[in-house]
Structure 1
């Protein structure tokens, strides 16, 4: 089994996603990944010491895609309320897209995120960190009132849970969901205003 392509961790993760999509998390093996790469399974293990480590890395990669999109909104130099609204909308859109555009892979990731407490916890920390930055900028500008931006950010994240927690994915395509989302966002933003 030889390949002319340089084997990198990123390439292994790309192929692992394809294998998971094809076989599902219950049947996908490191041997399947190695076969798809045209290498021995030992070559995969040189990059990821265990099957669990490989699955954790795939989960983290998948979750990090959402965080990266949201980082761009956090970094913008504009009205904190507009950034907060855009951030929440982008999070909802990203999660809906993941659930709707590739249902097989989304079902796989539901299993993987259930196994992967560390990656999920880090993802939630990253998201609430982004929200904290937006809330802090709102407090600094006088637009928001919050004694502790980090506590407020965590509350915002929990208050909007229905629109980003994958356990609610079936609800995301129901008629009227956008209006419900807007109503919740309006409520939390009004509550934040100074």
Structure 2
């Protein structure tokens, strides 16, 4: 008889999150019960509750995973060698692309986003701070090389992110897509318009 392989708690948590995400996308958040997630994993609902106190807590974990993926991409862009203006434009377009591909493919997924935003405000605030730090880093690089004027990088980073929120907020992106807008073209034009304000006249 082969010895039973023990699963690490972090691995079990990850499996629960992955399975729940799949079921939420297939059935919708409201129609998916913890019992469904447990059955898909071949475990009892009580075992799922050992790792997550509620279905909403699982959604929060899904949200946190998504935010972490966005932040990893953002920092990679910030630390690349491209000109600062190109990095900021690429950053906004990559965030837009991520949300389109991963969170807004259908209404069932959009429901998950709404639940996550409603119950996950601390993580979302931390995510906003992380993105501001990313933009601030890029701005500092641009100021140092003379690509941008000597503006206050922190304040300017906040202003830029507020101005492009329609291209970085999942719910607002969804509304744009429903209206049939070409969001990539508009995002690119908006970023270039904003950066003109801090680009020295040549």
Q: TM-score, normalised by structure 1?
A: 0.85
Is 1:159 aligned to 2:163, yes or no?
Answer: yes
- Aligned twin of 2:16: 12
Gaps of 5+ in 2: none
Pick one of 177, 180, 185 that aligns with 2:191: 185
Which of 40, 44, 47 is 1:43 aligned to?
47
Alignment-derived partner of residue 32 in structure 1: 36
Is 1:73 equivalent to 2:73 in the alignment?
no
Secondary structure at 1:15 match in 2: helix
Per the alignment, residue 86 of structure 1 pairs with 90
Q: Is the 8 A contact 1:146 1:152 kept in 2?
A: no
Counterpart pick for 1:61 among 57, 65, 70: 65
Judged with a 3 Å threshold, the aligned counterparts in structure 2 of structure 1 residues 52 and 97 are, in CA distance, closer, same or farther, namely: closer
The 1:100–1:183 alpha-carbon spacing in structure 2 relative to 1, beyond 3 Å, is same
Q: Deviations over 1:157-192 (max 9, x none)?
A: 011112122232131362444433232111111112
CA RMSD, aligned part only? 2.4
Q: Distance in 1 between matches of 2:27 and 2:196?
A: 46
SS of residue in 1 equivalent to 2:111: helix
| Structure 1 portions without partners, runs of 5+ | none
Report the Cα distance in structure 2 between the residues aligned to 1:160 and 1:48, rounded to whole angstroms.
34
CA 1:8–1:180: 2 relative to 1, 3 Å: same
Conserved 8 A contact 2:34-2:45: yes
**1:8 Cα deviation after fit:** 1.9
Q: Structure 1 residues 57 and 37 mapped into 2: Cα distance closer, same or farther (>3 Å)?
A: same
C-alpha spacing 1:25/1:5, structure 2 compared with 1 (3 Å)? farther
SS at match of 2:197: helix
C-alpha deviation, 1:15, in angstroms: 0.7
Change over 3 Å in CA distance of 1:126–1:102 after alignment to 2: farther
Counterpart secondary structure, 1:35: helix
TM-score, scaled to structure 2: 0.82
Moved more, 150-159 or 3-12: 3-12
Q: Which moved more, 1:129-138 or 1:46-55?
A: 46-55
Deviation at 1:76, TM superposition (A): 0.6
